[in-house]
A = this chain, B = another copy of it.
Amino acid sequence: MNDELYLILIFIMAMLLGYELIKKIPPTLHTPLMSGTNAISGIVIIGSILVITSASSLTVNILGFISLVLSSINVFGGFTVTDRMLEMFKKPKKRDKD
């Protein structure tokens, strides 16, 4: 009944939570953050699947297909490139510090 309203509240709560979490990420990791969120934005892949499986016409099918390809690029490209980047940060070699 109040479904839509509650979804909006969830949206706002997630924004606030995101704000608190991301504020704490050090500048060192800001580029991986950008490409990582890029990858997550590929979540619209869900929408593409929903469009295709409930498609009523060829046009819709094609639109859904295109958006599926685009969002899959985002997902697979995004996570892979972020992983490539983060791998570099993995192990700072041990050094004798002052």
Which residues of A approach B to under 8 Å, CB–CB? Answer: 1-3, 6-7, 9-10, 13-14, 16-17, 20-21
Please give, as numbers and ranges, the residues of chain B lying within 8 Å of A6 by CB-CB distance: 3, 6-7, 10
* A10 partner, pick from B3, B10, B21, beta carbons under 8 A: B10
* A13 partner, pick from B2, B17, B21, beta carbons under 8 A: B17
Smallest CB-CB separation from A24: which chain B residue? Answer: B20
**Chain A's interface: helix, strand, loop or mixed, by majority?**
helix
- A85 to chain B minimum Cβ distance, whole angstroms, is 25
Please give, as numbers and ranges, the residues of chain B lying within 8 Å of A21 by CB-CB distance: 20
Please give, as numbers and ranges, the residues of chain B lying within 8 Å of A14 by CB-CB distance: 13
Please give, as numbers and ranges, the residues of chain B lying within 8 Å of A3 by CB-CB distance: 1-3, 6
